[in-house]
Amino acid sequence: MTIAPDQLLTSRQDFVAAMGNAATGVTVVSTEGPAGRFAQTVSAMCSVSADPPSLLVCVNERSPLAAAAVRNGVVAVSVLATGQAHVSDVFAGRPAQGSGPYDFDCAEWDVLATGAPVLRGAAAAFDCRLADSVTRGTHQVLFGAVVASAASGAHPLVHHARTYATPSPLNSLKEHGA
């Protein structure tokens, strides 16, 4: 289905404000290969299927990561742990003073199967071969066939209302008005 811009049901401003209220995991998507080594902080990542294991990430099409991932044919997704907010800032282009943006020296990295870097100490990591890529609006939707994955048990970093947080378990739904 195609919707013309004059048929939009909400304004861009209202959409962005509403999306800011949706808590998301914080991920760094990386690639390495003939097109180079790139990474970027991404909030739009989700599972597509467990059979076969696959996921998707959305990357702004103007980002060097988008074109490099397609050329390299591999991506790795690192789900950041609570102590890794500085890594998110570096790969979002907002490094602390004295650091450079998009600088892999801000952390330690490993590889799983494809050679794409995964963040050491991440809450989870997924190593993928690129299965498909689709442009939607301003973003490339990259579909990854997961060839290796790992979970550390660390608490994940969450982004909500333009700030970092960590999830905490509810003792009971009744205590919280549910």
- What are the sequence ranges of the domains in the chain? 25-168
- Give kind and range of the element (H or E) at residue 56: strand 53-60
Intervals of the chain under pLDDT 70: 1-8, 172-178
For the full predicted model, state whether its pTM sits above 0.95. no
Superfamily of domain 25-168: Electron Transport, Fmn-binding Protein; Chain A (2.30.110.10)
Omega before 52 within 30 of 0, i.e. cis: yes
Distance of CA 120 to the CA centre of its chain: 15
User: Which pLDDT score, from 0 to 100, does residue 95 have?
Assistant: 84
Q: Which two tokens stand for residue 91?
A: 């790969």
Strand partners, 47: 55
CA triple 67-151-127, angle to 5 deg: 25
* 176 token code pair: 């919280």
Stated length of the chain: 178
